[in-house]
Chain A
Amino acid sequence: MLLLTCPNCGNRNVSEFRFGGELSSRPKDPSALSSTEWANYLYMRNNVMDAQTEWWHHNAGCGLWFLAERHTRTNEVIKTYPYAKRNA
């Protein structure tokens, strides 16, 4: 994977971006969580060898945090889109 498509800037070299890890859902009420649930949120990852929805940050460009769907075995990028359009 040499190019990544920033939703604002288009195709850019991957070295302009910072990887932000797989997408996870934030607990609605952190103070209500047990230690196990909190550890699950903080540390546990799916780490799939498959298509993965993940965060990227265009840190040497427009500064946008956005989502990408990428296959983690082949590095093929299926699509990239802003977080706000994640359910579109």
Chain B
Amino acid sequence: MWRSHELKKRYDVVIIGGGAHGLACAYYLAEEHGITDVAILEKSYIGAGGSGRNTAIVRSNYLTPEGVRFYDESVKLYEQLSDDLNFNVMFSQRGHLTLAHTDGGVNTMRRRAEVNQIEGVDSRLIWPDEIKRLCPYLDVSDHPRYPILAALYHPPGGIIRHDAVVWGYAHQADVRGAHIHQNTEVTGIKVKKGKVTGVETTRGRIKTGTVLNATAGWASTITTMVDIKLPLTTIPLQACVTEPLKPFLDVVVVSGSLHVYISQTDRGELVMGASVDPFSSYSMAGSLTFLEGIAGHVLELFPALSNVRILRQWAGICEMPPDYSPIMGFTPVNGFLIDVGWGTYGFKASPIAGKTLAELIATDKTPDLIAPFRLSRFEENDLVGEKGAASVGH
């Protein structure tokens, strides 16, 4: 699938982080801009971080016009990704339901539906009778503590095989000449007169003029090497998977009020994720508190699952920015670029993040699509408030 290489002394571009974002960027650099002298430095194995720990949901029904446009380009790239990479990424556009349990929730969904439709995204508000038709096992009665009042229905949303996305991008980046270096941790970044000149790793030094920090989750630990602070707090997010069941759930169901999202994989397992943990940490240990919480909430939605057993649970780490939008592009250090702040919504943006950052690296200009996500927005007081659509549990 991809080869191992000796670390060269010099690369045109060094990408720190071998997740879906970094690998996608390497692929689009080669495919669209002919830049192939690229190293991807991964401290562990590729896809070991958020790319392999998310719940594999892809959607574009966001709240801000900037967010909707950006994530919708990602959905379009995902739709053709199996062909582009000649690798089956198993994208299943089965429909995505975001439930509203309160009047405030219904208002937010209505607003999202309006913004989505103006931006050309298939998204609308539906009521319990239609929800019941789409998802017969969901309890839409008025018995639960938080009855379901409505849902935002987003037919193009769905799930994908996240490992396949990582492997597909890695393979095609490798074929085009990029060097993927696993077990290679960055220990320092050389800056001379405000410009990046090299990277120090556990396997030796590299000279380069362009470094992309694509280490979402750990981005602060890299960016601190060039004395830049980021507006990020790293918090774990836990998820779990049940034993396999016969297929009964062919939509993705999300409830912000109940802090849960749930989908059924092709193997029949239910994948369930929660909101972020109650305190910041880089630890990926799981907790019983999470399991108890999510089990209770899932049973509110699907009472029939009361005898289903959990197979395993895990955690990934999410760096949360104050406005729930990513931070992409230039920094005060010349040649040091960032693709960070991916909070709980990074995986679904992998293709478009890789593609736009490849364009930025090749042209030295910020593409319009990601201009709203620049680092300087914080001192310019121009935040992109995406909290109402980017996370559960607010």
Q: Which of B183-191, B226-234, B251-259, B351-359 contacts A (4 or more CB under 8 A)?
A: B226-234
A44 contacts B229, C-beta separation under 8 Å: yes
- In whole angstroms, what is the CA distance A36 to B234 when docked? 23
* Distance (whole angstroms) from the CB of B377 to the closest CB of chain A: 9
- In whole angstroms, what is the CA distance A74 to B220 when docked? 17
A47 contacts B232, C-beta separation under 8 Å: yes
Which A residues from 36 to 57 make CB contacts under 8 A with B? 36, 38-40, 42-49, 52, 54
B280 contacts A73, C-beta separation under 8 Å: no
Q: Say whether B371 faces chain A, with CB atoms less than 8 Å apart.
A: no
Q: Which residues of A contact B380 (CB under 8 A)?
A: 35
* Distance (whole angstroms) from the CB of A61 to the closest CB of chain B: 15
Q: Say whether B102 faces chain A, with CB atoms less than 8 Å apart.
A: no
- In whole angstroms, what is the CA distance A52 to B231 when docked? 16
Q: Which of B53-61, B139-147, B281-289, B304-312 contacts A (4 or more CB under 8 A)?
A: B281-289
A73 contacts B283, C-beta separation under 8 Å: yes
Q: Which residues of B contact A11 (CB under 8 A)?
A: none
Q: Which residues of B contact A72 (CB under 8 A)?
A: 234, 280-283
Q: Which residues of A contact B281 (CB under 8 A)?
A: 72-73, 75
Smallest CB gap from A73: residue in B = B282
Q: Which residues of B contact A15 (CB under 8 A)?
A: 278, 289
B229 contacts A40, C-beta separation under 8 Å: yes
Q: Which residues of B contact A45 (CB under 8 A)?
A: 220, 229-233
Q: Say whether B378 faces chain A, with CB atoms less than 8 Å apart.
A: yes
Q: Which residues of A contact B220 (CB under 8 A)?
A: 45-49
Smallest CB gap from A18: residue in B = B278
A39 contacts B379, C-beta separation under 8 Å: yes
User: How many A residues, CB 8 Å from partner?
Assistant: 25
Q: Secondary structure of the A side of the interface?
A: mixed
Q: Secondary structure of the B side of the interface?
A: loop
Q: Which residues of B contact A74 (CB under 8 A)?
A: 283
A21 contacts B233, C-beta separation under 8 Å: yes
* Distance (whole angstroms) from the CB of B320 to the closest CB of chain A: 10
* Distance (whole angstroms) from the CB of B36 to the closest CB of chain A: 33
- In whole angstroms, what is the CA distance A11 to B378 when docked? 39
- In whole angstroms, what is the CA distance A46 to B233 when docked? 8
- In whole angstroms, what is the CA distance A14 to B221 when docked? 26
Q: Which residues of A contact B234 (CB under 8 A)?
A: 47, 49, 72
Q: Pick the contact of A49 from B221, B229, B378 — CB < 8 Å?
A: B221
Of B233, B280, B319, most buried by chain A (CB within 10 Å of CB) is B280
* Distance (whole angstroms) from the CB of B348 to the closest CB of chain A: 23
Q: Say whether B381 faces chain A, with CB atoms less than 8 Å apart.
A: yes
On A, residues with C-beta under 8 Å from B are 14-15, 18-19, 21-22, 35-36, 38-40, 42-49, 52, 54, 72-75
Nearest 9 pairs of A and B residues by beta carbon:
A19-B279, A43-B231, A47-B220, A44-B229, A39-B379, A39-B378, A36-B379, A49-B282, A73-B282
What are 8 of the A-B contact pairs (CB < 8 Å)? A19-B278, A21-B280, A39-B379, A44-B231, A45-B233, A47-B230, A49-B218, A72-B280
Given contacts A38-B379, A44-B229, A45-B233, 19 further A-B contacts (CB under 8 A): A14-B279, A15-B278, A19-B278, A19-B279, A40-B229, A42-B322, A42-B378, A45-B220, A45-B229, A46-B220, A47-B221, A47-B232, A47-B233, A48-B221, A49-B220, A52-B280, A73-B282, A75-B283, A75-B285
